[in-house]
Amino acid sequence: MQKALLTQRGVTLTGLIFWCVLLGALALLGMRLFPLYNEKMKVDQAMDRVANDASVSSQDKTQLVNAIMKQFEVSDVDRWTTIEFTRLFKVEKKPNSENRVMLLDYEIRNPLCCNLDIVLNYHNAHTIPYGKLPD
């Protein structure tokens, strides 16, 4: 009679715990990173929409801030009040050109675990076509 060779296949309890901890850590990291990434994409969209608007060339900084804040309301970005956003948002003359540049720079810190933070440094610049500014 031939002896049947039995081969066991499967995962040990230690291996199962290891993979559960690893997948849990990756899920936690994803849950902490996704809101920051999602908000960054919404801010990018708002800046793009305002920069590509036909009437943007004749708008001053206050009008641009109001247009972006309206886009934020639609996109559900509620990180700033209008006053706070006005401090972060800049409109400057582009060097060696008649065009202007919309600039937005900010930093967001979100806690990850214990004393570890996730930091998002945001910088976005859009050229605004030349247009006569209202007096």
Residue 19: the pLDDT is 94
CA 130 – CA 96 distance, rounded (Å)? 13
For tokens 């806690």, what's the residue?
A: 111
| 23 domain-assigned | no
| 89 domain-assigned | yes
| 20 domain-assigned | no
Residue 3: the pLDDT is 63
Q: Is the pLDDT of residue 134 over 50?
A: no
What is the number of structural domains in the chain? 1
| 77 domain-assigned | yes
| 70 domain-assigned | yes
pLDDT digits (tens, 9 = 90+) for 51-94: 888 777 778 888 999 999 999 999 999 888 999 999 999 988 88
| 14 domain-assigned | no
Residue 131: the pLDDT is 62
Name the maximum alpha-carbon separation found in the chain. 103
For tokens 């060097």, what's the residue?
A: 95
Give the structural domain span for 88.
35-128
Contacts with 127 (C-beta within 8 Å, 6 or more apart), sequence order:
51, 94, 99, 100, 101
| 62 domain-assigned | yes
